[in-house]
Amino acid sequence: MNLMEHLPPYYRGNKTMEELQDILTAKVDEAALELQETVNQCFIGTAAALLSRYEKIYGLTVDVTKSNGFRRERLLAKARGTGTVTKKMLAETASAYSNGEVAVIEDAMNNSFVVKFVGTKGIPANMSDLTLTIEEIKPAHLSFIFEYTYNTWKDVSNMTWQDAKAYSWKTFRER
């Protein structure tokens, strides 16, 4: 922000006023940045310095060796996982970990459910924490399994063997 723009035109060219406005502009910009940083700490999605506080509030183990993104993902999943457990809530919690669509399939006869990753291919990166989170929020009498989505031969039938050679088997199944 340039404070000189907010003063009457007769101050333009006045060295004393320009220097004073430069100093004040720097201070205002600094205060605005500090205010934005303070606001960022108020929300899990943008917090950094207060992540450990949020983890304590939600009863999670504080692990500063993990990335802030990983920690935010875990906190957001935990926050979504409060209240009555529903298929939608389980799906939203799992999708926070996988960054893709998730379907929850109930199997009432066997007191279980399936968490199927339909929006991402392969195994999502943070399965251990997702498993812990689901264990914490699901009713104790229910069991669950994960089901992953991969490419089938039909999905890649338009590729030639020459095209396929450029990929590892893992990449080929999940691209």
Instruction: Give the distance from CA 88 to its chain's centroid.
Output: 18
Q: Are residues 169 and 140 in the same domain?
A: yes
C-alpha dist (Å) from residue 51 to 19, 55, 83, 136, 147: 40, 6, 22, 20, 31
Q: How much is the pLDDT for 146? A: 96
Q: What is the pLDDT of residue 26?
A: 92
What distance lies between CA 137 and its chain's CA centroid? 19
What is the radius of gyration, based on Cα positions, of the chain? Answer: 26
Listed as ranges, residues in the chain with pLDDT below 50 are: none
Q: How far, in Å, CA of 144 to CA of 91, rounded? A: 13
Residue 39's domain spans which residues? 3-82
**92 plus 150 within the same structural domain:** yes
**What pLDDT score does 28 carry?**
93
What's the confidence (pLDDT) of residue 96?
A: 85
Do 59 and 120 sit in the same domain of this protein?
no
| Mean residue pLDDT across the chain | 86
Residues 102 and 150 reside in one and the same domain: yes
Q: What is the pLDDT of residue 128?
A: 86
pLDDT one-digit tens code per residue, 113-131: 999 999 888 888 888 888 9
Residue 169 shares a structural domain with residue 93: yes
- Torsion, Cα 92 95 100 104, to 10 degrees, reads -70
pLDDT for residue 175: 63
